[in-house]
Structure 1
Amino acid sequence: MSPRPNSLAAKDAAFHFHGYTNALKNEKEGGFVVTRGKGVYIYDEDGKEYMDGLAGLWCCSLGFGEVPRLTQAIAKQMQALPFYHTFTQKTAAVTVELAEKLVSLAPVPMSKAYFCNSGSEANDTVIKMVRYMNNGLGRPQKKKIISRVKAYHGVTVAAGSLTGLPAIHKDFDLPIAGTLHTDCPHHYRFGQPGETEEQFATRCAESLEKLILAEGPDTIAAMFAEPVMGAGGVIVPPRTYFEKIQAVLQKYDILLVADEVICGFGRTGNWWGSQTFGMKPDIMTMAKQLSAGFMPIAAIMMNQRVYEALRDNSAKNVAFAHGITYSGHPASAACAVEVLKIYEEQKIIDGVRDLAPHFLKRLHSFADHPLVGECRGVGLVGAIELVKDKKTKESFDPKLLVGANLVRMAHDHGLIVRPVADALCFCPPMVATEAEIDSTFDRFARALEDTETWLKREGHLSAAA
C-alpha cells in the first residue's frame, strides 16, 4: 500500500535510504515515521500510540522524552563548549569527568577509557588496538580475533566481520581475513539430546580450544563476547560457560573483550553483564544505555596491561595514530555523566532487579503456547522463539517470515518488538512499570494469536496444532 501523498511516510519513501531495510519495499510503502515520545511510548505522525518493547534499539533505558535533567545538561554544555576534540593531548573537562566515572564503575580493575560514537566504532577500534598492542610487543603474528556464531559486534568492515550473522556478511565481502567464529552457546538450539547446560558449556570450551590449537595459539590475539548475545536473539549463556571459556583463553594468553553495548548499565540487573555472568575482561566496549539513547556515544575501557602496551608503542611511534573527530564530544559526554548520576540517584538498577521477576514471569508464561519453542531472558531483556513443532524444535520455513509477520501484527496492536529470524526480542525501558510490562505482553499475546490464525488459514500449521 502506498503512503498518503504529502505525508512524512511519502517523503521518507522519496528521500530516505534506511539501514536494515528492504529499500524497494520502503520505496513503495514509505517508512514508519515517529514524531514524539513520552515515557515508554512513541507516537507516529497520525498520533497513534505504540508501546516500544525494545527501548528504541536496546538503548532508551529512561524512556522517550521528558527527562529534563538530560536536555538541560546537554544544553548547558552546548552553551559552554559545543565542541572540542581529544587529539594531541587535548580534551573537554566533562570528557575527563566521564572517563574517571567509567573507570570507577568497572567490574574488574581498568586503567583508561577511550571514546567513540557507536558500538560498531568501539569494537572496530579495539581490533586496531589489539593489532597495535601485539606489534609493539614484538608479536606481529598474534592478530586473529575469535567471535561466535550469532554474535553481534557491529557493522563496520572489521566489526561486521566479527558479527556472526550471515546477512551482515552477504554481498559485503565479509568476513575479512583474521576473524574466526566458534560455537554459539545456545543450549536450546545446539545442545545434544540429554546434554545438560554444564556439559554443553564444557563442549563449547573444548571446541574453542580445538580451534585455537588448529590456528596456532601464537596467532590468536583476542576473543570478543557479549555477556548475553543480544541482536543474535537474546541468547543467555549456559551455566558455567564463561568460567570454562575464560580458562581456555587464559591458558593461551588470549585477551577477553566483553562487548557490553547492550548489557551494560543495568540491563541484566547489575551495572555490567560481566558481573552477572562472572566475566573478567581485559577490554570492554559499551554504548547504548551509556547515554540512555539521548546522544551518540560509546566507550572502550582497557586494563593496565593493555594500556601499557599501547602507551609504550605510541612512544616508539611518536603517537597512537588513531582518532575520531567526535570522540568524547562534550555534549555527548555531558549527557552520559548525567545519565550515570540518574542511574545512581534514582536507583535504576535496583528497580531492574525488582521488576525483573515480573518481566520474566510474563515472558515465560508463553512457554506452553503451541507456537513457542523457548522463552529465555535475564534482567529486563528476553526473547520468545517460535517453532513449527515444539517436540522436534523444527523451525518454520524462513521464507514465511513468521517472526516479521508477528512484528507487523504486533504493530497493529500498538506494540514494537524486534524479530531475529523467528525469535521476538524484548528490551523495555528500565523505567517501565509492572502495568506497562503487562501491557507489553498483553499486546504481544494478541499478535501471537493473530499469527497462529494466519498460519492455520494459509495451511502452514495444522488446525489441531
Structure 2
Amino acid sequence: MTHFTANSPHARDIASVLHPQTNARKHRETGPTIMTHAEGIFVHDDAGNAFLDAGAGLWCASLGYSNERLAKVAYEAMKTLGYYQIFRHASHGPAIDLSEKLLSIAPVPMSKVLLQCSGSEANDSAVKLVWYHWHAQGKPEKRKIISRRGSYHGSTCVAISLTAKPEYQTGFGLPFDGFLYTDCPDYYRTALPGETEEDFSQRLADKLEALILAEGPETVAAFWCDPVQGGAGALPPPRDYFQKIQAVLRKYDILMVADEVICGFGRTGHMWGCQAYGMEPDMISCAKALSAAMQPISAVLLNERIYQSVLQQSDKYGAFIHGYTYAGHPVAASVALETLKIYEEIGMIGHVRSVEPVFLRELGALRDHPLVGDFTGIGLIGGLELVRDKATRENWPAEIGLGARVDAHARRNGLILRIVGNRIAFSPPLIITADEIRELARRLRATLNAVHHEVSAL
C-alpha cells in the first residue's frame, strides 16, 4: 500500500471523496492523481508531470483547460445575475440568447430548447419528452426505447438504462423495463466474411426492424443514437448506416433522438455529428463542448411536432411539470453563449477540418503496429482497435490487463488516453495543432512499443 502524509491532498482525498467510475478498494491503496494546473491541451499534476490529454478530459475540454475570456464572462455574469431560475414563466437574457443561438445553428429545423445541467440530464429529460409526446397523441403504450449495444448515454437511472453496457448497470437493479438494445454497428468486429459496409448496414437495419416487429411497433417510442458511438470506443458508423436505420424508423413512426453530447460543436468537422451522416432527428441532446467544459450545462432541442404535444399536455394538465434547480443558470448560459462565439471567431470547424487529415494519417499509420488491428475516425474523434492477432482479430485475454498496461505506459510517456474495452478512443481538445497531433502519435507509438515488449515476454 502506498503511504501518504496525513495532510497531503492524496490522504485527504482518500478520507473524504467517493470517485465515479473508480475501484473504491484500489483507490484506498493508490490514491488519486492530483491535477494542479493546465496550459492548452496539457495538464500538470502535483508531482510536476505534464500530460498531453488525448481525450479532452471526458470528451469535453474543447478549448483546452483554461480560458481567460470565458473566466471574465463568468465573473461578469456572476456579478450581474449570479443565479435565477427559469421555472413558472421566469426567464433571463442569457437563457433566451443561448436558446435562440442553438436554434439558429441546429442541423435540422427545431422549435424549442430545454436547458439542463449535464448530458445525462439532457437524455433523461428527452426520454420524458418522448413519453409525454406519445401520451399526448393518445398512445401511452408506445413507450419502449431502443438504443445500441455498446452505447453510453448517461448516468441517471433512465440514462443508464439507455446505456447498453452491462458493467454500468450491474449492482444497481438496472436497466428499467422497456429499454431494448439492438446491434452495435461495429463493422470491424461483426461484419460477415465478404460483407460490404453497405450490406452490413442493411443487415443491421433489418435486425432493427425484426426487433420492432417482435416487440410490436405500436409499443416502440424512440430510437437513441450518437452519431459516432462514444461508449463503443469512438466508433464511426459504416456507410449508409443512418440512412437505412432512419428508413425503418419512419416506416413505423418511431422517433429518433440524436445524442450529440460528444459529437456536437465541431468534433466531427461539422457543427453537429448529424450533419456528417445525414441524420434528421426529432430531438437532439447536447452538452460537453457547449461550454467547452467550463460550466455544467446541456440542452435538449425539440422539433415542432414534440412541442405541439407539450402544448396539448399543458392544456390538459396546466403545466409542463419538469425541471432542475440550476437548469438555464445565467452564469453557465453566458459562458456557453460566449463559447459558441469563440468557435465562430476562430473558425473552429475550419480548423478541425484542416487538421483532420493529419489526425487520420498519423493515428492511421499505427495500423502497422503489432498490437493494432484497425483505426477509424472522422474530424477529431476516432478509435484504435487493439488485437492479439491481426489475421484473426483475436483479443488479448482479460487476465493480461492490456488496457491497464497501455494506460500505465502512456502516463510514463506523458500521455492521457481513454481506453474503452479493446479500443483507445481519441477526442483531443479541438484546438490541437498539427504538430501536437504528431507528438500525440509519437508518444502513443512509444507506449505501444513498450506494452508490446512487455506482453511478448509473458
Question: Is TM > 0.5 for Structure 1 vs Structure 2?
Answer: yes
Per-residue deviation, 1:175: 1.2
Q: Tell me the residue number matched to 1:23.
A: 24
Structure 2 residue matching 1:428: 3-state secondary structure? coil
Question: 1 CA distance for matches of 2:46 and 2:212?
Answer: 53
Question: 1 CA distance for matches of 2:140 and 2:99?
Answer: 30
1:260-271 alignment to 2 at 5 Å?
Answer: 260-271=260-271
Q: Tell me the residue number matched to 2:295.
A: 295
Question: 1 CA distance for matches of 2:245 and 2:358?
Answer: 31
Per-residue deviation, 1:10: 2.3
Q: Tell me the residue number matched to 2:125.
A: 125
Question: 1 CA distance for matches of 2:16 and 2:448?
Answer: 34
Question: 1 CA distance for matches of 2:114 and 2:206?
Answer: 34
Q: Deviations over 1:337-371 (max 9, x none)?
A: 00000000110110000001001101101101111
Q: Tell me the residue number matched to 2:431.
A: 431
Ranges in structure 1 where 5+ consecutive residues have no aligned partner? 459-465
Q: Tell me the residue number matched to 2:449.
A: 449
Question: 1 CA distance for matches of 2:21 and 2:132?
Answer: 32
Per-residue deviation, 1:3: 4.7
Alpha-carbon contact 1:401-1:421 (below 8 Å) kept: no
Per-residue deviation, 1:411: 0.6
Question: 2 CA distance for matches of 1:187 and 1:31?
Answer: 37
Q: Tell me the residue number matched to 1:284.
A: 284
1:325-364 alignment to 2 at 5 Å?
Answer: 325-364=325-364
Counterpart of 1:340, as a letter, is L
Structure 2 residue matching 1:20: 3-state secondary structure? coil
Counterpart of 2:11, as a letter, is A
1:1-400 alignment to 2 at 5 Å?
Answer: 1-5=1-5, 6-65=7-66, 67-400=67-400
Structure 2 residue matching 1:222: 3-state secondary structure? strand
Per-residue deviation, 1:422: 2.2
Question: 2 CA distance for matches of 1:423 and 1:173?
Answer: 28
Q: Tell me the residue number matched to 2:401.
A: 401
Counterpart of 2:19, as a letter, is H
Structure 2 residue matching 1:50: 3-state secondary structure? strand
TM-score, normalising length: structure 1: 0.97
Q: Tell me the residue number matched to 1:463.
A: none
Question: 2 CA distance for matches of 1:106 and 1:268?
Answer: 15
Q: Deviations over 1:260-319 (max 9, x none)?
A: 000000000000000001100000000000000000000000000011101211221011
Greater Cα offset, 164-173 or 139-148: 164-173
Percent identical across equivalent pairs?
A: 47
Question: 2 CA distance for matches of 1:8 and 1:405?
Answer: 26
Structure 2 residue matching 1:176: 3-state secondary structure? coil
Q: Deviations over 1:134-190 (max 9, x none)?
A: 111110100110000001111111110111111111111111101000111010011
Q: Deviations over 1:221-255 (max 9, x none)?
A: 10000000012211110000000000000000000
Question: 2 CA distance for matches of 1:144 and 1:399?
Answer: 37
Structure 2 residue matching 1:321: 3-state secondary structure? coil
Counterpart of 2:214, as a letter, is A
Q: Deviations over 1:198-219 (max 9, x none)?
A: 0000000000000000001110
Structure 1 residue matching 2:367: 3-state secondary structure? coil
Question: 2 CA distance for matches of 1:7 and 1:382?
Answer: 38
Could you say if the C-alpha distance between residues 268 and 3 of structure 1 is closer, same or farther in structure 2, counting changes exceeding 3 Å? farther
What is the Cα-based RMSD across aligned positions, in Å? 0.9
Alpha-carbon contact 1:224-1:259 (below 8 Å) kept: yes
Question: 1 CA distance for matches of 2:382 and 2:132?
Answer: 37
Q: Deviations over 1:62-114 (max 9, x none)?
A: 0011x221011111100000101111011221110000000000000000000
Alpha-carbon contact 1:374-1:386 (below 8 Å) kept: yes
Q: Deviations over 1:1-40 (max 9, x none)?
A: 5153243222222221100100111111100111111101
Question: 1 CA distance for matches of 2:234 and 2:305?
Answer: 32
Question: 1 CA distance for matches of 2:231 and 2:65?
Answer: 21
Alpha-carbon contact 1:267-1:380 (below 8 Å) kept: yes
Question: 1 CA distance for matches of 2:276 and 2:404?
Answer: 31
Counterpart of 2:60, as a letter, is C
Counterpart of 1:29, as a letter, is T
Question: 1 CA distance for matches of 2:231 and 2:22?
Answer: 16
Counterpart of 2:8, as a letter, is S
Structure 2 residue matching 1:359: 3-state secondary structure? helix
Question: 1 CA distance for matches of 2:272 and 2:165?
Answer: 24
What is the number of residues matched between the two proteins? 457
Alpha-carbon contact 1:404-1:421 (below 8 Å) kept: no
Per-residue deviation, 1:400: 2.1
1:408-427 alignment to 2 at 5 Å?
Answer: 408-427=408-427
Q: Deviations over 1:386-423 (max 9, x none)?
A: 11111111111123220122011101111001110121
Question: 2 CA distance for matches of 1:336 and 1:3?
Answer: 42
Alpha-carbon contact 1:146-1:223 (below 8 Å) kept: yes
Question: 1 CA distance for matches of 2:218 and 2:74?
Answer: 46
Counterpart of 1:291, as a letter, is S
Alpha-carbon contact 1:51-1:416 (below 8 Å) kept: yes
Question: 2 CA distance for matches of 1:225 and 1:376?
Answer: 18
Alpha-carbon contact 1:36-1:42 (below 8 Å) kept: yes
Question: 2 CA distance for matches of 1:314 and 1:229?
Answer: 35
Question: 1 CA distance for matches of 2:317 and 2:259?
Answer: 29
Counterpart of 1:426, as a letter, is F
Structure 2 residue matching 1:366: 3-state secondary structure? helix
